[in-house]
Amino acid sequence: MLRPGTYGLTALLAALTGIGPLSTDMYLPSLPDIARLLSANEAQVQLTISSYLIGFAIGQIVYGPFSDRFGRKPVLMAGLAIFSVATFLCALASSVEMLIAARALQAFGGCGGVVLSRAVVRDLYSGARAGREMSLIGAVMGLAPIIAPVAGGVLHDMFGWRSTFVALCVTGVALAAIAIALLPETLKHRVAEPVTIGSMLRSFRTFLRHGSYCAHLGLAVLCFAGLFAWLSASSFVLQNLYGISPRAFCVGSAIGS
């Protein structure tokens, strides 16, 4: 098992956190081809990003309470299993409707890595040390938006758009295997109270009563709204309207990140 304070544990937590941006950015160069090959229009294919955001939002609500009740590791394993299966379904999608649904499930599963890696940091560290670990994880995670479009563009050019999801599926399975073998259970005291909708709503009510929290939340919402508006439209605008190749698009995305 990886011990607290080691770079190996930090790297594993960073990799789990990186699932989110990888799953979003890696297939962006393929969006125009997905629309063409699945006989879908641009709006339908853009829904694969919208459904991902919905699944991710729902996941953030449930993973915390369930991991407090059952432990970090089993809930993380369940999330990675959902992510891997859903990503494989994305690779097999025969219609845009199937891809939209699989993307929502993929996001719900992948969200576990993002939420629970931060929960593990909270379990193991406090104060300045916790801030340092989060900074290291954030720095490593910041590489994902740079690497993902390039890797996705290369895979798209060599093997087609489905290969992107195959690679993500393999990544999910590999992370699950590593986490099973090396990640310790970090939650020392589990919450005895059953997880209910009422208990989750009470927690949300506590946060929403603080004006500073709501102000920062509003700023984050505006930033991410602009980001994902760009992500959903950029590949179609640059490739279809301006004739940029998928490889040039992915290089430009990496530089912009």
The pLDDT assigned to 167 comes to 96
Q: Flag whether pLDDT at 185 surpasses 90.
A: yes
The larger pLDDT score, comparing residue 102 to residue 205, is at 102
Instruction: Return the residue matching tokens 């290369």.
Output: 154
Instruction: Return the residue matching tokens 């199937």.
Output: 98
Burial of 11 by CB count in 10 Å (0-12 exposed, 13-18 middle, 19+ buried)?
middle
Phi, psi of 75 (to 5 degrees): -70, -40
> What number of other Cβ atoms are within 10 A of residue 138's Cβ?
11
pTM: predicted TM-score of the whole model, two decimal places: 0.90
Which residues, other chains included, contact 250 with Cβ-Cβ below 8 Å and sequence gap of 6+? Answer: 28, 29, 149, 150, 152, 153, 154
Structure-block tokens of residue 172: 């999910």
Q: Please, what is the average pLDDT of the chain?
A: 89
- Distance between CA atoms of residues 23 and 18, nearest Å: 9
Ordered structural domains, the chain, with CATH? 7-256 (1.20.1250.20)
% of residues, the chain, pLDDT over 90: 52
pLDDT digits (tens, 9 = 90+) for 58-88: 999 899 999 999 999 999 999 999 999 999 9
- Distance between CA atoms of residues 112 and 67, nearest Å: 10
Give percent helix, percent strand, percent coil of the chain, each to the nearest 5: 85, 0, 15
The answer to whether the beta carbons of residues 25 and 231 sit under 8 Å apart is yes
The pLDDT assigned to 34 comes to 95
pLDDT digits (tens, 9 = 90+) for 9-46: 999 999 999 998 889 889 988 999 999 999 999 999 99
